[in-house]
Chains A and B, each alone.
Chain A
Amino acid sequence: MQNFIPTRRAAMALILAGTALTGATGQAVAQDITLGALRLTSHSPTYIALERGYFEDEGLNVELAFFESSAAMAVGVAGGDLDYGVTSISGGLMNLAQKGAVKVIGGALAEDPDVQGHVILASNAAFEDGVTEPAQLAGRSFGVTTAGSSFHYMLSRIAEGEGFDIADVQMKPLQKVGAIIGALSSGQVDGWAIQPSIGKRLVEEGAAHKIGDLSDYAPDYQVTAVFTSTGTAEGEREQTEAFLRALSHGVADYNAAFVDGTADEAEVTELTEIVHQYVSTDVDDARFAKDMAEGSMRINEGLSLSTSSLQSQLDWMQDEGLVSGDITLEMLVDPSYVETN
C-alpha cells in the first residue's frame, strides 16, 4: 500500500474490486443474514438469540440493522437490504405483500388474556375531565403514529367494543412514539393505547392514567409478525427454518424469564443485562429490570401466528380504505413455517 498512487484509474479498480468481493461473499456457503431490529423490549428474543449464540448454533452469522420505525423496516426487507424483520402488522406491510415483495412467516408479540397487555391511557387533563373509561374516548382526541398503524387499529377495536363511531374520535397522527408520549403528558391528546412497558412507566410517573386494557377488546391481537422477502420465503427454506428455530429459542428464554416467571433469578438478571445492552441504554439498571419484569407481553411460543387476528386486521384496513380490497391472506402469509391458528 505504500506505493499506492491515488489516481482515478486506481480508484476505479478499487471500486470494481470491492463490488467483486461483496458479490463473491453473497454467494458463499457461509450464511450471513441481516436482521432488522427496533430498540424495544418486544425485540428481546432477537438480542437474546444473538448474544447467547443461538443463531451461530444454526450456522447463521447475524448482523443487526437498527430502525426507527416498523414501516421503514418493512421497506428494508422489500428492497433486499434486510433478510428478516420483526415488526408490527401495518398497512405498509400489507401493501408490500400485495406487490409480492414480502411474506409473513411467523407471529411474535401477541395479546394474551392472562398477561398484562396493551394498556389504554388517558391524559391527566382528560382523566380529570371525566375520561375514566375507554367508552368516554368518544369525541376525544387519540394519539397514533400514522393512519393504518397498530395504534389506529387498537382505537378501532375499542370503538367497536364500546359501540361508538371511530369518526367521532379525532385521530392525531404524530409519527413517533416519543412525540405521542410528549403530547399525552402535556395533555394535547386525550387518549392512547401502548405496550405495558411504556404505559406502566407513564402511569407511575404520574404523566397519565390507565383507563382500561386492550385485551378486553382484542383478546387474540397479533401485534407483531416475523416476515421476510417473498424470494427468501420461497427459495431459502433451510436458512429460514434455521433462523426461526434460533429465534424461537430466544423467545422461549424470554417468556420463561419475563412472562411466565418460570426461570430462576440469575437467569432473569442475565437476560435483562443482555437486552439492556440494546434497549433503553439510558435508563438505569434497576428501573429497566422492573420495566422488563412488569411490562413484558407474551411472544408466541415457536413464533406461532394468529391468522384469524391477521384476517381481522386485514378486513379492517380494507374497510377503512387504507389498503386495496384485492389483498388476500394468502398474499400476506406463508403458513408453511410455523403453527397457525
Chain B
Amino acid sequence: MFKTKIIYRLISVFLIFAVMIIVPYSFTILKQVTKMIGEEEAVHPPVDEEYAKLHKEFTSRLFEQMLPYIIYILIMALILSIFFMRKMLISLKELQRGSQALKDGNLNTKLEIISDDELGDVTRAFNEMAASLREKTLELQKKDTYVNAMLDPLWVVDEHNNIVDVNPAFTRLFGHMKEDVAGASIYDFFDEKNAAIMRKQLEEKREKGIASIYEISIYTKEGSQIPVLISGAPIYSGERIIGKIGILKDFREQVELRNALRESRDYIETIMDSIEDELIVVDREYRIVKANKVAKTKTKGPIIGQFCHVVSHGINRPCWAEGHECPAQTVFLTGKNIRITHQHISPSGGRRFHEIVASPIKDSAGNVLNVIELLRDVTERMEHEEEIFQKNRELIALNSVAGLLNSSLKPDEIFIKVLDKMLTMMNMDGGGVFFLDEVNKEMICRYHRGISDEYIKMLGRIRLGEDIPGKVAVTGQIMTSSDVSKDHRVERSVIKHSGMRAYCCVPVRGKERVIGVICLFSFKVHVFTMEEENILNSIGEMTGIALENIRLYEKMRELYEYQRKRREEEHEQLLSMSTKLGSSIELKEVMEQVLELIRKIFRADFAWLLVDDSEGNLVLKTAIPVKGKGEDIVYQKGISSIEGYAVEKKAPTVIQNLKTEDKFYISPELAGPSYQTAIAVPMFIGLKPVGVYTLYYLGTRDFKEEEIHFLEIIANILVVSIERSDLYTKSIMEKGLADTILQSVADGIISVNNSGRVISINRAFERISDISAADAVGLTLCDIFRYADENIEFRFLLGECLESALTGNRASREGLLLTAHGRRMSVLINSDPVFDANGNITGAVNLLRDISREKEIDRMKTELIRSVSHEFRTPLSAIVGMTEMIIDGDLKDDKVRKYLDTILSEGIRLTNMVSELLSIARIESGKESLKFEIVDMDAVINSVKESLSALIAKKKAVIKYNINGDGDFIGDEEKIKQLLMNFMDNSLTFSEEGCIIEIKARKKNGDLEIIISDNGWGIPDEDMPHLTERFYRGKHGEKIKGTGLGLSLCNEIVRMHGGKMDIKSRLGEGTEISVKFPSRSKNE
C-alpha cells in the first residue's frame, strides 16, 4: 500500500519525524525531572509521605501534561504534511489523467501546469510529448488515408516476399481480403509464367534495391487472371532492405486496347496488302513509317524507317528540294488530298512513273501528322502515252509536211515551207537546202533561212564529200551534232567558226540516190533525240518522194498536154482523192474509190492493193471488183509473186504475158478470168516496203514511161495515207487501253467485318450512293440500302456477293440501285474476302461501280443503230432496187445511164454518211483527241478551196476572204479544215449560181472569231432549232441530197475546241455562221 501511495508515505514520514522529535524530548524531560527530584530528595529528603508521594506522582503528572502537547504536535505534523502534499498531489493527479486520456486516444490532451517546480517541468514535458504524438499520429492517419484511398492496388511484402499489407483497392480488384492474404507469399498469386517473370525482376532489380516496373498477371479470388503493371520499390531500414512495396496498376484496358490496336493494325495491313498498288505512310520527316506488301516487294532492302526520297529517288534530301513537286510536301502544306503523276527510280535504277494519290492523316486539332501515299505504277501507261505522244508528234510533223508536199507541185514553195516547218518544229535558228550538182560534184545551197546572202556565198558551195553536207550526201546517213565546237568530226568546217552550236544535216533521198541535203542549225546547244532523228529522216525521205514526184510530174506534163482534155476531170478527182487521203483516217472506202479511179483511168479489168504486214506477208486491203475479205493474206512471205517481185525490185514491174510467164505464182483469188497483162507498183516509205498495187488486163497492153511515172506518183500518195492510218489505229487502240486503266479509280468501296457490318466506305461510294459514312458505318451491309423498297433486289444481289466473299470466294453481280437522293443507276458489285495473316477471313471488301454510263452508251448505241439503219434504207433502196432492175433488163439504155447515176450519187451519200457518223462517233466516244498546233488559216482556207474547186467552178462562186494574218491560232488543223469544208460545202450547195461566200477572221481579247457568210437561200425559221441534230435535214434537204450529219459534226468539232458556234440566217437573203475559239497555248 505504501509502495504505490506516495502521499501515505509522505504523511508517515512527517509523523515519524514528529514522533522522533517528541519521544526523545519527552524522555529527556522526564529523565531530567526524575533526576532533579532525586537530587532534591538527597538534599532534602522527603518530609513526609505526602511529599514523597507528590514527588513520585510528579513524573506521571508531567507526562499527562505533555501528552496533549504531543498529540497537538502530531496533528500539526499531519496537517502540515497534508498541506505540503496537496500541490504535488494535484500535479500527479493531472499527469495521471493526461496519461489515461492519451491511453484512451484523446491526443488533444493538454495539462495545466500547476507548480513551477520539477513537477511543472514534468507536466510541460508531458504536454510537449502529447503534442508531438498528436502530430505523428495525424501524419500516420493521413498516410493511411492515402494508401486506402489509392485507386491502384498496393501490397507491402517483407524480406521473404510474404505479404504484410494490402490496400482496399487490392481487395476491390482481386477480391482478396487483407486478412486472407496477410502472410501469404506473393508467388501464390502468379501462374508459372508470371512467377518466372516476377522472380527474374526481383533477382535483377528489386533485390538489389532498384525500383522496377513491368507487366504481369495476378490471380483473382475467383481464379481468373488480371493483367497489371507493377511498379515496385524496396523498403529500407538503415542499410538493410526489410521489404518491398508494389503498386499494381490495372492494365486490362490497356491490354484490350493493345489487342484492338493489333487487330485493327492487322486489319489495316490486310487491306493495305490486298491493295494492288503500292501504299506508304510518310511522317513529317519524310520517313516511311508504314508500307504494304506491294511496296515492300517493289523496294530493295527494308523500307520502313527509310526516307521516302531515298527509296523513291535515290537522293539524300527531300525531292522538293530538288525542284520536284513532292506530293507529301504538298499535303503537309495544304492538308488536302492531291493526285499527281510523279517520276521515281526503280530498284534496278530505271525510271518508274507513279500516279500518286496522297492524303493527309490529321490529329484532332487538324494538324497533318502523316501522309498516306497510294502509288500506282503507271510506267507502262506513261511509256505508252509517251510513245503515242512521240508517234503523234511524228505524225503531226509528217502530216503537215505531207500536206505541204501534196498540196504543191512547185519545188520552191515546197522547200521553203518544209524548211520553215522543220525550223519551227525543231526550234532551230536557221538552215538551208543543198542540192547535188552531179556534173561539178558540188553541193549548192538553193534555199536558206536565218543566214545572210553574203554568208551563203561563202557557205553555199561545198564539194561533194567535204564538210558536213558533202559527207551526208555521200553516206546518205543523217548527221547531227549537239555542239559543233566540241565535235572533232567537223574540225575544218566553215561552220565551226560561225557561232553555230547545234547542227543537223538530213539527206534528201531520191529514188536510188541522195539528191540533196537539208541542214538545220541553232546558236544554242541542242541534243537530238532518236525520235527527232527519225522524224528528220522521214521528212527527208518524204521530201525526196515529193521531189521525185515533181520530176516525174514535170516529165509527165508533156503527156498531159496531149491528153489534158480527157484526163482533166480524172486528174482533178485524183487531187481531191489525195486531199481526202490526207484528211481522212477511215481509209478503206476512200482507198477503194482511189483504186477504182486508177482502174478506170488505166482501163484495167481488175485492180487490187496489197499491204505488207510486218511479217513480210502481202495482205489484201482493197480489190476492184471486190474479191475475198479484206485483211486476208494473199501471198505468204517468200512466195514468188509479181507483187513480191515488184516490192523486191523496188520498181513497177510489167508482165506482158501472164499466160507464158511461169516464174510467178498467181493467187487463186485471180482464178476465173485469165488475165494477160499486169503491172505491179510497189509502195515504199524510205526503204521500208508498205505494199503494192496491181492492175490486171484481160488483153495485152503496153505502158508508156509517163504512165508508169503517173502510177508511181499515185503509189507515193497512197503510201503516206496507209502509214498514217495504221499509226492512227494503233494510237487510238492504245489510248483506249490507257483509258480503261484509269477507269478503275472512281469505284465505291465498302469494307465490312466478318459479321457483315460496315467498317468503312470511301468517298467514291458516298458520291455514287448519296449515302454518307455516318449513315453507313456500323450497319450490316444490306441494311444501308433499306431506305427504299425498290432496293430489295439490289440488296439480295449484294447479300449473295457478301455471303460468297465471307466464305472465301470472290463474287460479282450487276444490279439496279436507287440512291438515297432518288437517282437510279446500274451498279456492278464485286466482293472480295479479306484474309488475316493466318488465312482467316476477317471481312470483305465490296466494290461498287457505277455502270450507268456504260448502260446509257449501250442504249445510245441501240438508238443510233436504229436511226442509222433507218437513214440507210432510202439510199440502199436506190442501190438495191435499181441494180435489180438493171440486171433484170427492165430498162432502155438511156434510162440505164440515169439509174447508174442515181446509184452512184446515193452510194456516195451513203459513204459520206458513214464517214461523218464515224467521225461523230469517234468524237463522242472521247477516243478522238485534238492535236493542237498552230493553224495557219490562210493555208487551211486555200486547201479547202482547192478541195471544193470543182463545186466552186460549177457554181461560179466567188470566195472572198479577209484574214490579214489575224487568223493564226492553236487548234487541230485537220478538224478545222473539216469544219470549214462543211461550212463552205453547205454555202455552195444551198446557193444559186454566182453566189458570194465571204470568210472573215478576227481576234477579240485573244479569242478567234471566224465568220462565214453567204448570200444563198438561207435557212427557214422552223429548221433553225434542229440544225445540229443528227440526220436532221431541213426544208432544202427535200431538194438536195445530204446526210444530215454535217452540222452535227461541225458542232462536235467546235465543242471539242471549247468554242461556240452561232448560226444566223434569213430565208432568201443568206446565212452567217460564226465560230469562236478561245485562245490557248500549244501545250493545253
A binds B: no
Please give the residue numbers on chain B whose beta carbons come within 8 Å of chain A beta carbons, in ascending order. Answer: none
Please give the residue numbers on chain A whose beta carbons come within 8 Å of chain B beta carbons, in ascending order. Answer: none
